Structure 1
Amino acid sequence: MSTLTRRTVLRALGTAGLAGVAAAITGCAPTIGTGGLPRIDGAYDGPPIRLRFWNGLTGGDGPVMRTLIAEFTREHPNIGIDMYALPWTDFYQKFPAAVTSGLAPDFALMHNFQVATNAARKVIMPVDEVLDTVGLVEADYLPVVWDSGVYRGQRWSLPLDMWPDSLFYNRRVLEQAGLDPDAPPVDRAGYEQALDAVASSGVQGHWLPAVDPQGVGRGFDSLLWQFGGEHYDSAGRAATFAEQAGVDALVWQQSLIRAGWSPRNVSGSDASMAFKNDQNAFLWGGPGALINDLGQVDGLDWDVAPLPQIGGQRAAFSGSHQFVVSRQPSFDADRLAAVVTFLGWILANSIGWATAGPVPARLPILASPELADLPAQAHVAEGVEHIRFYPLVPGIAEVQTTILYPAIGDALLSLGDPRSALDTATTQASFLLQENVEKYGRA
């Protein structure tokens, strides 16, 4: 029996209504079914049916998904899809509550680094049984992407895309500094030389968003991998980012500020605004947000390339949107067939999703002439062979965002000792990882 508090009741009311309150009071969830998916032999061809689809696509990517849904329903008029977009933070709070309350959507879209957590919570279903019907083939995906939906020997998600952090560069700033705007830097020496050159022309070329832990933390992730490090041990029970690779990554980030290549105490919006006004040469970030944002600025001369190799090997943080099937109190074979019909269609037609910024996860589509018609996305795709994902560990996103990223931001704001900052964060992260083993190990 859990301890009932006013906050518990209010939280439950805010996420799942009366059924959520019942779960909070009793300390357990309503029965949501424990069997597998019903057998699906092919596409749905029955009477009209409406599906519920949840995601966090509240930005410019939302209209793109709605356009694709409309295209699908024109081809499949017997399948309607009601899409509900919530801010991602709200989505990850409300989705498990909706499932445990028996109010789950039919399917959802979530980030790859949240799949293991939701699998451990048992609010999504293994989808191995529908792979053939959906048309998922291992040879069509990079190994890191194919493996990203597999947890404890089962597949829990279907990858839609990849969005590797990439190097967005202001061509006009580079040209005014005497650099070739068609040849962005590809390694540490070239990158630092470019920063020196633009500094000579009066521009600080890399505005490091130290006050935005998420933005600066993902840059650290890429650098950690480039310097040969890992975030966690293979079992996901201890943090390892305070080893020499992590120290080297943070030292290099600090050098951007110490050398005057980045202003101090700036945010991601500061960096973006400076870039749009030709006062910043480079942005490190994901294509999902930046391609559409920069593309709307009249007169801005920009392009994008894979991240430069600062450490001993190429690597870039990447995320992936992945489809999941929600656990239900009981499964209706017709509804599942309709879900599978849509998932098979959109994964085969994900070139349309590329207009939102991310690049398709499916390699044949990635190599298609249609992607070449999207120059920015095609340039991002040049670096996908070197992408890295977070390990498939339940609760990993919480460790990153609540412990590691704030520690990186604090070290950059104070320019304090990198090893000390990372040692402290490692201790805290390892403690949380051990708690997560207990928490999700019983799930």
Structure 2
Amino acid sequence: MTVFDRPLSRRRLLSGAAALAGGGLLLGCTPGAGDSASDLSYWHLMSGGDGIVMAGLVDAVNAMNAGFRAEQTVLAWGPPYYTKLAMASAGGRAPDLAVMHASRIAGYAPGGLLEPWDVDLLAEVGVRESDFPPLVWQKGVYDGKLYSIALDTHPFVLYYNTQHAEKAGVTDAIQAMNSPEAFVEVAAKLQRVTGKHGLSYGYLGDGSQMWRLFYTLYRQTGAEMKLVPGSPAQVDEAAAVKVLGFVRSLLNDTIATRSGDGGTATSEFLHGESGLFFGGVWELPVLKESKLPFDARPIPTLFGQQAAYADSHTFVLPRQSTVSPERRRHTYQLVAELLKRSVTWAGAGHIPAYQPVVTSTEYQQLKPQSHYVGIPAYVNYDPDVWFSGAGSDFHKYFAENVQNVYLGSGDPAAGFDGFVQRLNKLLDRPQPV
């Protein structure tokens, strides 16, 4: 008997909701689904520039007059959003459609908080597995069923100041970097041009920033991290120590500042005080608005194997107590139309998951977006386990043990061991839902 064959206990779902959301609080009342078959309730956590773009996409679909209308509800990013989504499913008042990070699926699908997509009905509206990069599609699969459909991939990348690169004579070298030594050499040459730093990397107080770079480079060594509840974490300590030591070596107040946070790094790069910048593709709108001469590329393969950390915004079907076939079909149509228009979403830096958009002339002309378009072929998401993913405490646990390593006062081996011990305690616990 699968979890979907059993009646869901409201108490069981409620008891797990807060844990799944990383301890976030439920704020306010939970809006329910739309009131008619043509009025679809759509929840997401897109704010700022992303929120404006998403609103435009929804308006464009509504303007089709295709027999339904999507009403957006925008909720606060992080634990509040994921808590509300879990509680709405538990109460039978879930929206017709919601956005969830791919890294959170492992915590929601097993407990019955999501309903699987019907791949045959998806095909009827023009959405097929062959339209997505294999790793991106498979991330939405749990126990043989599809629980999420990716809108995008948003990776951690390397930006560089093209003017500084030309002056330092490293334009070609930036594309050819293939070892830690080569990276340091380029960064040192850029530092001599800027007079301040060669690289901007903000991590202080931000576990996600620490994790994104670490996991990219850790996976480049070929190392894996398997987290299976009931078993100790399977990790490669030697690879982790090597990577942590390398990152710490960059934070020497010459190549990069030892004590920079995200705002410091972005500001420094925008003001031409560094030549390289580790950041997410979501930084792209700010960089473009500044008129800075820059380009972007995947983080170079420094440890032998292509790898890049990323997450994906995905569409999910939260569990509802009753499902109208007509509303459900309209929900499928809504997702299909959003995917087909996602070249607009690419303007915010994200890589569309729907490949007919990626291969279009319109997308290929986008710069620098098309310069890192290959990342989904070797993307690495957070390890699949109930306590990992965006808006959870997983990255915080990493920061608690590794920040002192980056600051220069902690031992890499001891820091990583502390993180693994924390993981093992969580792995010993039963999954909340």
What's the TM-score once normalised by structure 1's chain length?
0.85
1:362-390 deviations in Å (ceiling 9; x for gaps): 22321221112211211120333222122
The structure-2 alpha-carbon separation of the partners of 1:203 and 1:265, relative to structure 1 and needing over 3 Å to count, comes to same
Q: Which runs of 5+ in 2 are unaligned?
A: 1-10
TM-superposed deviation, 1:391: 3.3
**Structure 1 residue aligned with 2:285:** 292
**Secondary structure of the residue that 1:84 maps to in structure 2?**
strand
Question: Any idea what SS the aligned residue of 1:61 has?
Answer: helix
| Match status 1:127 vs 2:117 | yes
1:297-333 CA distances to partner (integer Å, 9 max, x unpaired)?
A: 13x1111011111112111001111100111110111
Q: Name the aligned partner's letter for residue 87 of structure 2.
A: A
The equivalences for 1:75-154 within 5 A come to: 75-89=64-78, 90-129=80-119, 130-154=121-145
Asked whether 1:268 is paired with 2:281, we answer no
- What one-letter code is carried by the residue in structure 1 that aligns with 2:289? Q
* Residue matched to 1:166: 157
Q: Distance in 2 between matches of 1:277 and 1:185?
A: 26
RMSD: 2.8
Contact 1:140 1:363 in 2 (8 A): yes
- CA-CA distance at 1:137 after TM superposition: 2.2
1:275-424 superposed matches below 5 A: 275-287=269-281, 289-298=282-291, 300-397=292-389, 398=392, 400-424=394-418
Bigger drift between 235-244 and 162-171 goes to 235-244
Distance in 2 of aligned mates of 1:186 and 1:236: 41
SS in 1 for 2:113: coil
* Residue 244 (structure 2) aligned to one of 241, 245, 250: 250
TM superposition shift of 1:175? 2.6
Q: 1:40 aligns to what?
A: none
| Alpha-carbon spacing, 1:183–1:401, altered in 2? closer, same or farther (3 Å) | closer
Residue 171 (structure 2) aligns with = 180
Q: SS at the partner of 1:75? A: coil
Cα 1:144/1:235, change in 2 over 3 Å: farther
Per the TM alignment, residue 236 of structure 1 is displaced from its structure 2 partner at its CA by 8.3
Given residue 248 of structure 1, which amino acid in structure 2 is its aligned partner? K
Is the Cα–Cα contact under 8 Å of residues 152 and 314 in structure 2 kept in the other structure? yes
1:293 deviates by 1.3
Shift of 1:260: 2.7
Mapped to 2, the partners of 1:118 and 1:424 lie a distance apart of 27
Structure-2 change in CA distance of 1:194 and 1:236 (3 Å): farther
**Retained in 1: the 8 A contact 2:37–2:327?**
no
Separation in 1, partners of 2:183, 2:144: 42
Residue aligning to 1:34? none
**Corresponding residue for residue 14 of structure 1:** 27
Per the alignment, in what secondary structure is the counterpart of residue 171 of structure 2? coil
Question: Shift of residue 439 of structure 1?
Answer: 2.1
AA matched with 2:366: L
8 Å CA contact retained: 1:242, 1:426: no
Q: Is the 8 A contact 1:16 1:98 kept in 2?
A: no
* Range moving further from structure 2, 171-180 or 413-422: 171-180
Output the CA distance in 2 between the equivalents of 1:254 and 1:404. Answer: 15
Tell me, yes or no, if the aligned pair for 2:25 and 2:83 is still in contact at 8 Å.
no
Query: Normalized against structure 2, the TM-score is what?
Result: 0.86
Q: Identity over the aligned pairs, expressed in percent? A: 27
User: Secondary structure of 1:273's match?
Assistant: helix
Aligned residues of 1:229 and 1:245 also touching (Cα < 8 A): yes
Q: CA 1:134–1:248 in 2, change beyond 3 Å: closer, same or farther?
A: farther
Letter in 2 for 1:340: Y
**Which range is displaced more, 244-253 or 186-195?**
186-195
Gaps of 5+ in 1: 20-46
